[in-house]
Structure 1
Amino acid sequence: MTDPQLLSAYAGHWTGAGTGVTVILPPPGTVASGEVRGGAPATREFALLEPTRLVDRVDAVVLSGGSAFGLSAADGVVGLLRERGLGFPTPAGPVPIVIGMSVFDESVRTGPPDAAAGREAALAAWSGTPFGTGRVGAGTGASTGAWRRRHDPGGLGRAEGAAGAARIVAVAVVNAWGDVLAADGSPVFGGGETPRATPTPFGIANTTVAVVLTDARLSKNDCYLLAQSGHAGFARALHPAHSRFDGDAVVALATGEVTRAIDLDLLRAAAAETVAAAIRDAVAQPSSSPGTSPRVR
């Protein structure tokens, strides 16, 4: 089963009570980098994404609820990939490179996703079930607008774009402290309450994370620049973005299937627009069935 919106990756969800996990499994050899701009990130193996680090490819990206506790979902994905002989080659055997990014939701109190949940999401990714959006997977317990003393809807969104021969897909989990902005710059859920100067404890419980996937052939440094442009998409669709209370982070993945030369700056411009569209998509539709996801080509 194929899905043109996810290129050549697999993607799937595990959805629990008020929380969940979303796993993206790119094809072997996918080059990756990323950048954190929020003040309160919950991440796993993110240092490996820096352009100066040795490893230039990843085997999976795991998005989860549960804040730092939810990062354990990646352990289940690591185990499954090891069973299948996938990972960075070493003398002791392949070591799966799995990046984790988590958002804060109510499961921090009630029970965050664990390794078993991560494994289920990865298996779902390989199952061929359509990839749902809305309040599903890592977006299940997400909310927005905390700076206005309220919890407006959040969720998981997806959008696609292109730059010349290259295609782009963005997946975003939107759990922002600020407002989601429509294309005209107005808050999707309206203004109303005056933003608070000092947040309550739940005012610090926020984060938006995104994955930008392209079929262009890019270097690790190119992917780093692409991730930076993903953050430009945050600034277009969230206000405020990158606050001290958000753990905003973007991972960029390049599968390299398009071998012809690509104008990197045009690709970056398209990435910013696509990420902004994915953020808006997260709150633009009803919840999808808890399910899982597809193969992309």
Structure 2
Amino acid sequence: MPNAKQFKQLAANVIDIEKQAIENLHNYIDDEFAKACQLMFDCSGRVIVIGMGKSGHVGGKIAATLASTGTPAFFVHPGEASHGDLGMVTSSDVVLAISNSGETAEVLAIMPVIKRIGSTLIGMSGNTNSTLAKLSDVHICIAVPQEACPLGLAPTSSTTATLVMGDAMAVALLNARGFTADDFALSHPGGSLGKRLLLRLEDVMHSGDRLPTIHYRALIKDALVEMTQKGLGMTAITDDDGRLLGLFTDGDLRRILDEQVNLHHDYIESVMTKHPVVAKRQMLAAEALKLMEDKSINGLIIVNDDNEPVGAMNMHDILKAGVL
């Protein structure tokens, strides 16, 4: 019966073997790799990823990564391909066929049809002399020194190497396309990731009648009424032309209570914070969150190009929107 020490040692051995498999991939970032990337970059159709068994599971992830980083792609199971799904493949597509041995029967069975359709074929295998390698227009080698499985049977290092090589292609293509965070956001609109990438201040700010503003010659008590009615814990202070002069917050109120200030007779301009931190409505909510954290503030006034307040928001608005 193995003990805890043996379990940890076995796990460490697996990590060392798979790390070596990844390091070995540097040998295969060659002209064939560059040609494969160029073919996918120039592809006017889609990249169709095909693989069986564990290679198929990895292939599905590679297709998903390509699709989410600017290279239209999807996975086709070779068994289903033989029963109708090859109808999704066209001559404009690039087929990325994955087989560690390069001899997987289900994958090789559809190669003649792929050739007849006229699709470009990129093979990915651990054997440069395999049937798949010979049939391919371009072949990417993913050979590993050894599997992490002590029996040398279960795909372990080989699937890890395949996955990493797929990531290498996807990221190389992402950079070649000039793919941006905004582009990435368009394919990830759901959940907190999409909100971090897509949500802008104009989507969460309080504007119009909900925007707390008051004239600089208003009394402090009137500013407190405005803050209470709008419920943001602050109010913008504006000049005669409606431009921002300052800000008054709950924190400022606590500060002035210790001073000789008359709430009913003193003007708000005498206690406001001049030159407050502001933002533009196009700023990402995630950027605004970092700005507030860096400046140790809980709210922002959003201004236009003429320095006129057009919105206001606080930390709660961003957190409520799911931007974490």
Greater relative contact order, per chain length (Cα 8 Å cut-off, separation 6+): 1
TM-score with structure 2 setting the length = 0.22
Return the index of the structure with the highest Cα Rg: 2
Which is helix-richer, 1 or 2? 2
TM-score with structure 1 setting the length = 0.24
